[in-house]
Chains A and B, each alone.
Chain A
Amino acid sequence: EVQLVESGGGLVQPGGSLLLSCVGSGFTFSNFAMHWFRQAPGKGLEYVSTFSSYGGSTFYANSVRGRFTISRDDSKSTLYLQMGSLRTEDTAVYYCARDPCGNYCSPDYWGQGTLVTVSS
Chain B
Amino acid sequence: DVVMTQSPLSLPVTLGQPASISCWSSQSLVYSDGNTYLNWFLQRPGQSPRRLIYKISNRDSGVPDRFSGSGSGTDFTLKISRVEAEDVGIYYCMQGSHWPLTFGGGTKVEIK
- Most chain A Cβ neighbours within 10 Å, of B39, B41, B49, B104: B49
Kindly report which residue of chain B lies nearest to residue A46, judged by CB atoms.
B103
Given that A95-B48, A112-B48 are contacting pairs, would A106 and B55 also be in contact in the complex, using a CB cutoff of 8 Å? yes
Main secondary structure of the interface of B (DSSP, over half): loop
The total of Cβ contacts below 8 Å across the A-B interface reads 58
Kindly report which residue of chain B lies nearest to residue A60, judged by CB atoms.
B100
Contact: A108 with B51, CB < 8 Å? yes
Main secondary structure of the interface of A (DSSP, over half): loop
A110 at the interface (CB under 8 A from B): yes
Chain A residues within 8 Å of B, Cβ to Cβ: 35, 44-47, 50, 59, 61-62, 95, 99, 101, 103-113
Chain B residues within 8 Å of A, Cβ to Cβ: 31, 35, 37, 39, 41, 43, 47-51, 54-55, 60, 92, 94, 96-97, 99-106
Q: List 12 A-B contacts (CB under 8 A).
A: A45-B41, A45-B103, A47-B100, A61-B100, A95-B49, A104-B99, A105-B97, A106-B37, A106-B96, A107-B39, A108-B54, A110-B50
